[in-house]
Amino acid sequence: MAATFLERNFYTTSSCGVCGKASLDAARTVARWDVTPDDVTFSESVIAGLPERLRTAQKVFDRTGGLHAAGLFTPTGRALAVREDVGRHNAVDKLV
């Protein structure tokens, strides 16, 4: 039996989906699209190279030195899209 004083229930305007949930199971949602597992894999070398590929694609960071980035890459490591913002979550939101 979980102690109710340990539950976190509040509203927030920006979060990863866990904030405000009483448990990780409560964070699970139903997607509007098919989320069935697929056969896409990334090699270790591609994964290891993604930070540098992302950094290379950060054009605004080159000028300011102070932005976060999020990127969408193919399994071969080709960047499909890169977005930057002062906040990590904002960069991800822009990418999505």
Residue for token digits 């991800």?
Answer: 92
Confidence tier at 60 by pLDDT (50, 70, 90): confident
Catalytic residue among 16, 31, 35, 96: 16
**pLDDT score recorded for residue 36:** 80
Q: Is the pLDDT of residue 75 over 90?
A: yes
**Could you tell me what percent of the chain has a pLDDT over 70?**
68
Mean pLDDT of the region 90-94: 92
Query: Mean of the pLDDT values across residues 6-28?
Result: 62
Q: Is the pLDDT of residue 21 over 60?
A: yes
Q: Is 19 a catalytic residue?
A: no
Q: Specify the amino acid at residue 71.
A: G
The span from the CA of 31 to the CA of 40, in Å, is: 19
**DSSP class per residue in 12-80:** -SS-SS-TT-SSHHHH----SS----------HHHHHHHHHHHHHH-HHHHHHS--EEEEEE-TT--EE
The domain made up of 41-96 has a fold known as Cytidine Deaminase; domain 2 (3.40.140)
The CA distance from 87 to 96, in Å, is 14
